[in-house]
C-alpha cells in the first residue's frame, strides 16, 4: 500500500512523507538512548548503541558499512565528547573558578558563592525537572525563570571576574 501511495502521489507529498519518516526514526533512536540512561540524559556511547540496536538490516549491515541512520552523528559525538558525560561540569567549574579567581574575596565575603550554589541546584534531578517545566510552560513562568537565571548570573559574575550582559 505504501509503495502504491508513493508511486501515485505528488512528488512534494512523497518528499514530506520521507522527511517525516526519517524524523520519526531519528526520534526513536534518541528515545532509545535516553531510555538507556538513569535520568534521560544520554552519553554519546548510549546514542551509538541505540543506533546500532535500531539497525534492522541483516547482520547489522548498515552499521557495518557506516550507513545507519544517525551513525555519523553518534560516531562524531563519541569521538569529540568521549564515552561518559554525566553532566556538563558547570557547577564544579564555577566553584573551582570562584575559589581560584575570587579566593581572596571569598575569605572576606563568603556570600559570593551564593550565585554558583543557586545555579548548581539546576543540576539535581528535581532542579532539572523544575527548570524544564518552567522553560516549556507558558510565557509568564518562562520569563520568571529567565529573570531568575539572569539575577543569579549577574550576582556571581563579579566573583569570577566576568561581565554579565542581557539581551532584550
pLDDT reading at 32 higher than 90: yes
pLDDT reading at 66 higher than 90: yes
Of 21-35, 84-98, 124-138, highest mean pLDDT: 21-35
Give the span between the Cα atoms of 10 and 96, in whole angstroms: 59
Q: Which long-range contacts (CB under 8 A, 24 or more apart) does 53-59 make?
A: 54/25, 54/28, 54/29
Give residue-wise pLDDT tens across range 118-149: 666 667 778 777 767 766 667 777 677 777 77
Number of folded domains in the chain? 2
Domain shared by 8 and 73, yes or no: yes
pLDDT reading at 166 higher than 70: no
Domain that holds residue 66: 2-81
Among 62, 81, 100, where does a domain finish? 81
Work out the pLDDT band at 94, boundaries 50, 70, 90.
Answer: low
Rounded to a whole number of angstroms, the CA Rg of the chain reads 23
Among 81, 108, 141, where does a domain finish? 81
Amino acid at each position: 500500500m505504501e509503495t502504491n501511495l508513493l508511486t501515485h502521489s505528488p512528488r512534494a507529498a512523497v518528499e514530506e512523507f520521507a522527511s517525516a519518516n526519517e524524523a520519526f526514526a531519528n526520534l526513536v533512536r534518541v528515545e532509545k538512548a535516553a531510555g538507556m540512561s538513569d535520568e534521560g540524559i544520554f552519553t554519546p556511547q548510549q546514542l551509538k548503541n541505540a543506533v546500532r540496536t535500531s539497525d534492522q538490516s541483516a547482520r547489522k549491515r548498515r552499521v557495518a558499512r557506516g550507513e545507519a541512520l544517525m551513525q555519523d552523528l553518534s560516531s562524531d559525538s563519541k569521538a569529540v565528547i568521549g564515552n561518559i558525560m554525566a553532566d556538563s561540569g558547570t557547577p564544579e567549574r564555577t566553584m573551582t573558578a570562584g575559589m581560584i579567581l575570587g579566593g581572596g574575596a571569598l575569605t572576606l565575603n563568603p556570600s559570593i558563592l551564593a550565585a554558583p550554589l543557586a545555579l548548581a541546584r539546576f543540576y539535581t534531578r528535581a532542579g532539572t525537572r523544575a527548570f524544564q517545566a518552567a522553560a516549556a510552560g507558558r510565557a509568564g513562568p518562562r520569563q520568571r525563570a529567565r529573570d531568575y537565571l539572569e539575577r543569579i548570573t549577574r550576582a556571581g559574575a563579579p566573583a569570577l571576574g566576568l561581565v554579565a550582559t542581557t539581551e532584550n
